[in-house]
Amino acid sequence: MKVAAALIATLTLVASTVMAGPNPVVINKRVFQTDKVPFIPHSTGLFANWVGLNIDFRYVRHVFNEVNTTHALGNGTLISRGESHITVILPTEYDQILHPAGVTIEELNHLATTDKNSMNRLQRADFGLECLGRVQMVTKADGVFQQSLQLILKNYQDLILFREDVFKLFVSKGGNPALFDPENFKPHITLGYRHRDLHVEDGVYKGKNACIRQVVAR
C-alpha cells in the first residue's frame, strides 16, 4: 500500500509540474470566431467521409510554429497539415456505424449547416481550450516512435448536441443505439505530428489525460 501511495503521489507531482511549469501557450482569441470561416464538406470516399468544424488556420499556425521549434516538444520534427479543424464525426464512425444504417454524408452535412435557428449551425458552435496536449507511442507494426500534439477542447456542449441529433437520425433509420454514443468524443485541434497522426484506434486518448501545458486565449 505504501509503495502504491508513493507511486500515485509521484505521478501526481509529475503531472502538476508539467502543467504548471512552462509558460502557457498563447493563442489569439479570434480562433473562436469560427462563424467567419466556411463549413467544408468532406466526402471523397472510404475513410474520407467525416464532419468537422473548420478553424481559421491563421490563428493556429503560430502555435504550431512555437510548439515545433521548442526542443522539449516538436524539436523541428512535426508535420503540419496546413489547415485546422475539429473532427465532430469520425471517418470510422461514418463508414462503420452510420452509413451501414443508411445515414448519408449529405444528411450529416445538412445537419451541420442548417437548423431552425441558424444556416451555419456547426460553424457557430461554442467551445473552449483546455490545454496543449501530447500523445506518444511506439507503433507495434513498425516499431516507429510517433508523436502528436493538439489543442484539447473543453466546454463543447454544442458539439455534443450536434452528435445527439446525429444519434437521433441514426436510430430513426434502424441503427443499433449501442453502437453510437454521442458523448464518447474527445474533440481537439491537431497541431502537428511526427510521421503520422495518432488516433483512438492506436490506443491513445486525446483528452485532459494528455495535457502537458496550459493554453491562454487573448
In order along the chain (218 residues), what is the average pLDDT of each group of 10 residues?
A: 36 43 89 96 83 98 96 93 97 96 97 79 96 94 93 98 97 98 96 93 93 96
Within a 10 A sphere around the Cβ of 94, how many other Cβ atoms? 24
Judged on CB neighbours under 10 Å (0-12, 13-18, 19+), 108 is: buried
Residue that has been written with the C-alpha cell 488516433 in this structure: 199
Q: State how beta strands 25-27 and 215-217 pair.
A: parallel
Condensed to tens digits (0 to 9), the pLDDT of residues 22-77 reads: 789 999 999 999 999 999 999 876 668 999 999 999 999 999 999 999 999 999 99
* pLDDT of the residue at 139: 87
* pLDDT of the residue at 205: 94
CA 114 to CA 72: how far, in whole Å? Answer: 43
- Taking the model in full, what pTM does it have? 0.87
DSSP designation for 150: E
Is residue 115 within 8 A of residue 166, CB to CB? The reply is no
